[in-house]
């Protein structure tokens, strides 16, 4: 079966100066590994049986960098894909400080390079994608027929300081606000906001991908159905139905059975795609998890790559 992974990170030379220095808080992977999108990365993929990675650019200060910097980053990703078209595809980075420039860059990368969508890292100046400012970008993604991968980012300072700082180390504070909790609560909320704001009624063909087995949404599913769904009266269909028409889930960051089973039961196999979150999560446990899932071989193949190939037209 073909194994395709979708939440696999890299950082360009343009942006590596924004990445935390080795040994500092927030440095969770080797910058040399993150900046490599060539033969060394492919050798690691070969070692673990990964046929293709869809490259997603790492977090950067979206409101301070220029469109030109982002374009150079996308050009480098495009060059890597051109050199290794059977091993790499790419999501665009976007200059979200200016929605017009971001919309143009999405169109450029999809039409010129065949990019498979864009990766968006969290909120922009505290605004979620349901804000009307972002509607032109959402409309363009719908028009182009490409998904947006909604990846977590550290919460805004107004949230992170009172919620995640305390009588513990800076590293623990950062971890509470990011990989252990804060990232995932906020991304799950982000998706729910888009639904209840009517984004998928306005843009019914728009597709969103989220990782980490649904960003806590499966755990809260009963509460969402019981409390949220009856109180939302402006939508064309029940809240739950948008997860069957507009939302896709990856396994990134997880390699244990109980959360996978919950996501599978909640969303169904057609909405699930295998991913790893490389290099922040190791490849070996994730690949072993995939091969040992209590699924039939055709079901494993669907999860491993067929769903992604269909969505991204690989």
Rounded-to-integer distance, Cα 253 and Cα 16, Å: 22
**Reported confidence tier of residue 246, pLDDT bands at 50, 70, 90:** very high
- Per DSSP bridges, beta strands 52-57 and 88-90 are parallel
3-state secondary structure of 66: coil
Cα 112 to chain center, whole Å?
22
- The two structure tokens encoding residue 240: 């739950």
Domain that holds residue 205: 4-312
In the prediction, which pLDDT does 25 show?
80
What are the phi and psi torsion angles at 252 (to 5°)? Answer: -50, 135
Q: How many CA atoms, within 13 angstroms, populate the side-chain half-sphere of residue 52? A: 20
Q: Which residues contact residue 113 at a Cβ distance below 8 angstroms, ignoring those fewer than 6 apart? A: 74, 77, 78, 81, 82, 90
Cis amide leading into 279 (omega within 30): yes
pTM recorded for the entire structure: 0.96
In the chain, how many domains are there? 1
∠ CA(118), CA(120), CA(123), 5° rounding? Answer: 155
Q: pLDDT tens for residues 124-161?
A: 988 999 999 999 999 999 999 999 999 998 888 888 89
Residue 100: CATH number of its domain: 3.20.20.140
Predicted confidence (pLDDT) per residue in 227-245, tens digit:
999 999 999 999 999 999 9
Q: Is the pLDDT of residue 64 over 80?
A: no
């Amino acid at each position: 079966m073909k194994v395709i992974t979708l939440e696999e990170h890299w950082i360009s030379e343009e942006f590596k100066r924004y990445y935390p220095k080795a040994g500092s808080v927030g440095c969770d992977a080797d910058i040399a590994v993150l900046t490599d999108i060539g033969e060394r990365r492919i050798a690691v993929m070969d070692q673990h049986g990964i046929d293709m990675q869809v490259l997603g650019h790492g977090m950067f200060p979206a409101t301070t960098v220029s469109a030109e910097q982002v374009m150079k980053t996308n050009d480098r990703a495009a060059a890597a894909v051109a050199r290794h078209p059977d091993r790499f595809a790419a999501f665009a980075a976007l200059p979200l400080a200016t929605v017009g420039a971001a919309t143009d860059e999405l169109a450029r990368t999809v039409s010129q390079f065949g990019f498979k969508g864009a990766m968006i890292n969290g909120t922009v100046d505290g605004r979620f994608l349901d804000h009307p400012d972002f509607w032109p970008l959402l409309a363009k993604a719908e028009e182009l027929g490409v998904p947006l991968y909604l990846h977590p980012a550290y919460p805004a300072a107004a949230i992170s300081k009172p919620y995640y700082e305390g009588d513990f180390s800076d590293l623990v504070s950062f971890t509470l606000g990011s990989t252990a909790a804060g990232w995932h609560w906020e991304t799950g909320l982000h998706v729910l906001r888009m639904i209840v704001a009517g984004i998928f009624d306005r843009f019914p063909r728009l597709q969103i991908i989220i990782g980490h087995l649904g960003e806590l949404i499966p755990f809260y599913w009963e509460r969402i159905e019981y409390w949220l769904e009856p109180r939302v009266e402006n939508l064309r269909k029940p809240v739950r139905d948008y997860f069957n028409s507009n939302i896709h889930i990856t396994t990134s960051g997880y390699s244990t059975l109980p959360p996978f089973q919950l996501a599978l039961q909640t969303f169904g196999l057609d909405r699930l795609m295998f991913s790893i979150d490389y290099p922040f999560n190791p490849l070996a446990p994730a690949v072993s998890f995939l091969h040992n899932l209590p699924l039939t071989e055709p079901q494993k193949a669907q999860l491993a790559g067929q769903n992604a190939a269909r969505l991204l037209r690989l």
